[in-house]
Amino acid sequence: MNRVWSRTIVAVALAGSTVGLNTVAAQPATGGLSLFEERIAAYAELHQRVETIFPPLAPTDDAYVLVRRRAHLGAAIRAERAQAKQGEIFDATTAVMLRDVVADALRGVDVDVLLVDLYEGCEMPIGYRPEVNGSYPDWATHEMPFTLLVALPRLPGGIQYRLIDHDLLLWDVDADVIIDVLPGALPRAGS
């Protein structure tokens, strides 16, 4: 992606509502991840477009207003993405590259211990599998390990990486929509 195109995306994102750049994720994507960047930027544009149908949010202390707006925004985005499937953003090529990035970032780390620490105090239902267009589960209150955040490509503001078991998720925080799921992103013991 050339600099002019990158600056255009940044300018459009910053001019919009909540879609700025994350300051935590540091590493720019390499050439092989440009399709991933384009797809996540397209999702961010969809989010912005859908969000414009709602009146601007006035400052409020009423949590119900915020929860209701989030639910309506999520429903509108889900309707726009009714046919969304796993792998549309984490396509096969991107999946291989991101699994390599994750494996390198976690080299020497006991992933099972990391997950136990990450889920301390969380009650993950047996057999739970995150689904594209689903909501992020309330029980998953953990944050991403910093080691992974600095290794993974940057995301537009309002979109975060999250882990559920060994799977990597893209989550639209403002709309509570799971954008895509990369199964088996974290290496398993013995692999």
pLDDT in tens, 94-117: 999 999 999 999 999 999 898 888
| pLDDT at 143 (0 to 100) | 84
pLDDT band at 124 (very low <50, low <70, confident <90, very high): confident
Q: pTM of this prediction?
A: 0.80
Over the stretch 130-187, which tens digit does the pLDDT of each residue have? Answer: 999 999 998 888 889 999 999 999 999 999 999 998 999 999 999 999 999 999 999 8
- The pair phi, psi for residue 28, each rounded to 5°, is -70, 150
Question: Using 50, 70 and 90 to split pLDDT, how confident is the model at 2?
Answer: very low
64-71 contact pairs (CB < 8 A, 24+): 70/174, 70/175, 70/176, 71/176
CA gap 15, 189 in Å, rounded: 44
15-34: average pLDDT: 45
32-57, pLDDT tens digit by residue?
689 999 999 999 999 999 999 998 88
Rounded CA-CA distance 116/138 in Å is: 18
Q: What is the pLDDT of residue 105?
A: 95
pLDDT category of residue 27 using cuts at 50, 70 and 90: very low
pLDDT of residue 126: 84
Band (30; pLDDT cuts 50, 70, 90): low
- Render 89-137 in DSSP notation, one character per residue: SS-HHHHHHHHHHHHHHTTT--HHHHHHHHTTT--PPTT----TTSPPP
